Amino acid sequence: MKLGEDSSLEILRTSKDNLIHKLKEKSPTWEDSDDIEINQLLDVYEKNKYVFSNSVIDTLYTIKVNDEFDCNILKERKTLNGIIILDSTELYIFQEIGEKLKVMNFKVSIKDDYSDIKIFTFNLNENEKIIAENIETEVWKKFLRCLIYLDFLPTETKYINPNEKFGTRKQGKVINKTDHKIILVTKAWNQEYKTKPNTKFYSKAHWGIRWTGSGRTTPKITFIKGSLKGLNKPAEKEIKR
């Protein structure tokens, strides 16, 4: 993936004012508060930019998101805002504003002279999705898969500075020709954790994600009681079939 001046990230940055103007034209009920919110949402500089490795992309579609998704799960996430770059032509940019998580899906192709914007909202307090009828289900579900992976599953990150490149064709090479630092997210498959022999540690009570339902594909927030534990987790690469 090459991120340069014709990428969705750079086009979003350079055309922010024009995008806001078009959104105002299409919304007859636009208010001053909408100006503040959309400027927060489209503030590219203040957000981390995430790119997923091929191993993560291959895993995303194993995360099942139901139509009646429980938005309460999003209250426990770690990432308040950010930009998830799916490829050079498409990204999600998101921002928590008040008790709402606002998301924009932005697609653009200079070659095909095409661009498309879809905005949807998760009301975290009311546990509801605010999604226009013209937005396909897969658009908001794909965003949730990305966010669940980013915030609730074990990952490793690699920072790719401006004018740097990283990765292989198999892993997913990222060539960063922008002025932004890009975060490459990969599966935490090569980490090994052990406690000393005959020792235990106390795991504090906490909230966590547990996978339920058929095939354990539905995420559910669960309260986990504190307990004494011993840890012996081999690296995934050693047990991978």
Task: Transcribe 172-215 into DSSP letters.
Answer: --EEE-SSS-EEEEEE--S--EEPPTT--EEEPPEEEEEEETGG
pLDDT of residue 197: 65
What is the predicted pLDDT for the residue at 64?
Answer: 86
User: Do the beta carbons of residue 209 and residue 152 sit within 8 Å?
Assistant: yes
Where do we find the tokens 């997210």? 185
Rounded distance between C-alpha atoms, residue 36 and residue 123, angstroms: 18
In degrees rounded to 5, what are phi and psi of residue 24? -65, -40
Q: Are 7 and 88 in contact (CB under 8 A)?
A: yes
pLDDT category at 237 given cuts 50, 70, 90 is: very low
Residue 87 CA to residue 7 CA, distance in Å, equals: 8
> What is the rounded average pLDDT of the residues 206-225?
81
Alpha carbons 36 and 156: distance in angstroms, whole number: 34
Any residues with CB less than 8 A from the CB of 208 and at least 6 apart, and which? 221, 222, 224
Report the alpha-carbon distance of residue 117 to residue 215 in Å, rounded. 34
pLDDT for 152 equals: 85
Query: What integer pLDDT is reported at residue 238 of this predicted model?
Result: 39
Helix (H, G, I), strand (E, B) or coil at 129: strand
- Residue 231 — pLDDT band, cuts 50, 70, 90? low
Calculate what percentage of the chain has a pLDDT beyond 90: 13
List the structure tokens of 63: 């995360």
How far from the centroid of its chain's Cα atoms is residue 155's Cα?
12
Most confident of 21-25, 96-100, 150-154, 213-217: 96-100
Select from 75, 70, 77 the least CA-distant residue to 127. 70
pLDDT tens sequence across 10-20 = 888 888 888 88
Average pLDDT of the segment spanning 220-225 = 86
Instruction: Report the pLDDT value the prediction gives residue 36, as an integer from 0 to 100.
Output: 84
Instruction: Return the domain boundaries, the chain.
Output: 2-187, 193-239
Q: How many beta carbons lie within 10 A of that of residue 16, not counting itself?
A: 15
Token representation of residue 51:
């790119």
Mean pLDDT, the chain, rounded, equals: 82
pLDDT at residue number 16: 83
98-153, pLDDT tens digit by residue?
Answer: 889 999 999 988 777 788 889 899 998 888 888 888 889 999 999 999 999 888 88
- CB 190 within 8 Å of CB 183: no
Give pLDDT tens digits for 58-107: 888 888 888 888 888 888 888 889 999 988 899 999 999 888 999 999 99
